[in-house]
Structure 1
Amino acid sequence: MVLMPPNKMEKMSSDEPEAAPPAYESLNTSDQQPHRVVPPATNGKRYFEKETKSHIAFCFSPDPTKPYPTQLWSAQMIIKCDNVPQLMLEGLRWTTDSVLWEDGYVAEISAAYMHIKTFEDLCEAGLTWTRHYFLQDIQQEPPRWIAHLQVHAETCKTLAGIKLGELSIQNVVSAYAWGSRREYIYSWIKKKPWEAYNAIYDDMPMDGWWPWPKRENI
């Protein structure tokens, strides 16, 4: 409702005919938001159709030092890439700008997308709803990697309240990487930092989301 000054209201009369609205075809939309091509909601089609196997995995939680049953949510990110050593040398980075927002969806937890032991632990903890995000490299073209991030919680309300932009390296529980023959080449666990190893570059500092080694730890 638009309030009008008294002097304007006094000039209006109920006997005056109301002006007809403009025809749909005549509406000028040039001042509205410019047209943007938006991809359809494909539920991660780009990730699932990429033939490259997964080579990197990260686990996250609000407090990486505590077990599943005490967490409000838990998450895993599985990354497909063609060259893990390159990401070790150049750094592995992502932000909310990396998210393919139109590909995301919410569903009940599925064992198809994770290790069976992880699936069982999450179910036992009651974290049975999953929000699926998909991300890809925006540093280079074509993208060097594409990822599937699953965030698990007890309710959809909790999932809706999670702000992906607030996720940080401090939330990393563990990180792993493996080569083309599925042999481990990198391992780091928050609770057991003394067992960490990089079979490719030893203790070379790595930038971005790699939790170890960091320059300050060398």
Structure 2
Amino acid sequence: MGQVDSKPQTLNKPGNPGSPPTTGASTAQSITTSLSQTLDMSPELPVRPPPYEEVAASPPGKWEMVVLFGSDLDSVQKKGTINLSIGWFADLYIDTHDIVGLMRNGLYLTQDNIRAQEGHIKQYYSYRTNQWFWYRYFAIVGPNWSGCLYVRVGDIGIAHRFRMDDLSADKIYEADVKNKDGNLAYKFCLKHPEMNVNCILDEFPMRGLWPWPRELPDAKDQDAEEKGKE
């Protein structure tokens, strides 16, 4: 089972690269062999694919967004972990040059956002927990952002059945946004709500996969929720 750090932290993008897997016209670097020795809630992962498109009209500078999901947040809150033989953790990494638009319009992910030809799965061993884990990788792209999603499970069948509709704002336990200088501009922490801050739009209520501040569910959110129940 994975372990969640009980203290709030600043989320970082994936760590040191290894040999690059193919990602369309460019390559992203693969997971290092040291991953299995340092496996934790936010393990060292491959560098995310670079943006697939630049929005010329957007303000200069790239914003980096990290969102951490868990299939059972009650278990995360009470035990700091999830039983990965029946559940999953998912780490979402997004680059955008239009963070204001992403906040105002909401962040939504569907199967249509997946670059299917870049998907793959790998297995890693955790010496800390003496368990094998599967990581399923999704390359994703939207109208003004690009990124990737890593889903960590103990059962490959769960990885196979995972869909973007499984993600929802009520399954997020931590999220960060950093500006081009690496300064924190947004933070959400389920365990420490006193740490929540939005330095971009303050109390502006947001939709989709933004966990805080929340707007009342709109049609898109309700549709996504209904699909997730099917």
TM (norm. structure 1) is 0.63
What runs of 5+ residues in structure 2 fail to find an aligned partner? 1-20, 27-47, 53-60, 218-230
Residues 54 and 78 in structure 1, CA contact (< 8 A), matched pair in contact too? no
Higher strand share: 2
Q: Tell me the CA shift for residue 149 of structure 1.
A: 0.2
Q: Partner amino acid for 1:50? A: P
Residues 106 and 132 in structure 1, CA contact (< 8 A), matched pair in contact too? yes
The 1:200/1:49 distance shift into structure 2, 3 A limit, reads: closer
The 1:89/1:161 distance shift into structure 2, 3 A limit, reads: closer
**Distance in 1 of aligned mates of 2:201 and 2:141:** 24
Asked if 1:48 is matched to 2:49, the reply is yes
Superposed, which structure 2 residues align to 1:1-218 within 5 Å? 43-45=22-24, 48-50=49-51, 55-65=64-74, 66=76, 67-71=80-84, 72-109=87-124, 124=129, 126=131, 128-137=133-142, 143-216=143-216
Higher gyration radius (CA): 1
**Distance in 2 of aligned mates of 1:48 and 1:76:** 14
Residues 123 and 132 in structure 2, CA contact (< 8 A), matched pair in contact too? no
1:61-120 superposed Cα distances (whole Å, 9 cap, x missing partner): 11123123534221101001112222112222221221112211011359xxxxxxxxx8
**Distance in 1 of aligned mates of 2:111 and 2:180:** 29
Q: Partner amino acid for 2:64? A: H
Q: Tell me the CA shift for residue 49 of structure 1.
A: 4.2
Q: Partner amino acid for 1:44? A: T
Q: Tell me the CA shift for residue 125 of structure 1.
A: 7.8
Residues 55 and 79 in structure 1, CA contact (< 8 A), matched pair in contact too? yes
Q: Tell me the CA shift for residue 123 of structure 1.
A: 6.2
The 1:148/1:214 distance shift into structure 2, 3 A limit, reads: same
RMSD, aligned α-carbons: 2.9
Q: Tell me the CA shift for residue 215 of structure 1.
A: 2.7
Query: Which segments of structure 1 move beyond 3 Å, counting only runs of 4 or more?
Result: 42-47, 49-54, 122-127
- Matched residue SS, 1:77: strand
The 1:191/1:85 distance shift into structure 2, 3 A limit, reads: same
Aligned residue-pair number = 161
**Distance in 2 of aligned mates of 1:82 and 1:161:** 32
Q: Partner amino acid for 1:187? A: K
Q: Tell me the CA shift for residue 124 of structure 1.
A: 3.6
Higher helix share: 1
**Distance in 1 of aligned mates of 2:199 and 2:111:** 30
The 1:75/1:209 distance shift into structure 2, 3 A limit, reads: same
Match of 1:3 in 2: none
| Percent of pairs with identical residues | 22
